[in-house]
Amino acid sequence: MTYAPPRGFRRNSANAYANVGLETQVLSASPERLITLLFEGAISAIAKARLHMQQGNIAERGMAISKAIDIVDSGLKASVDVEAGGEVAKSLIATYEVVLHNLMLANLNADEKRLDVAQNVLQEICSAWREACDTPQEPATFQARS
């Protein structure tokens, strides 16, 4: 006797697989890579919000924007060390506040242009971050002694 897989089984399996992959990345990541993953998560959430906005899915749009807000506020902004970073850190926090403001207005007014502003700012910072901090490590080479 065979049974059909439960409804949503494939989607749930794919989500579980993706979550394991993300968890593996997070657990093995350097602090610099973790910040990159936060940028990628926020940018991805904004892309999902845009899709939901275009499709008129208000609840899903709100959840995606809320996720982006949480990542920016509790992840990126909270990780800035103002004492060590001085004026640059203060400017970065102010920039994150602008991103958060645009995300809130995008959700409130279903304003895709506000999503664009938030996404573009995050992509610019992410690109600079990757270039400055998140460079791939060279694999250790093994040299045999003669």
> What is the DSSP secondary structure assignment for residue 110, as one 8-state letter?
T
Give me the amino acid identity at 14: A
**Helix, strand and coil in the chain, % to nearest 5:** 80, 0, 20
Q: How many domains does the chain have?
A: 1
Query: Does residue 48 lie in a domain region?
Result: yes
Query: Does residue 113 lie in a domain region?
Result: yes
Q: What is the spatial distance between Cα 18 and Cα 83, in angstroms, rounded to a whole number?
A: 37
The answer to whether 2 and 88 have CB atoms below 8 angstroms apart is no
Query: Does residue 4 lie in a domain region?
Result: no
CA-atom Rg of the chain in angstroms? 19
Query: Does residue 62 lie in a domain region?
Result: yes
Query: Does residue 42 lie in a domain region?
Result: yes
CATH number at residue 44: 1.20.120.340
Q: What is the extent of the structural domain holding 69?
A: 31-132
Query: Does residue 121 lie in a domain region?
Result: yes
The one-digit pLDDT tens for each residue of the chain (146 residues) are 444 455 555 555 444 444 545 555 656 578 899 999 999 999 999 999 999 999 999 999 999 999 999 999 999 999 999 999 999 999 999 999 999 999 999 999 999 999 999 999 999 999 999 999 876 554 444 444 44
The residue count of the chain comes to: 146
Total-model pTM:
0.76
Q: What is the spatial distance between Cα 95 and Cα 29, in angstroms, rounded to a whole number?
A: 25
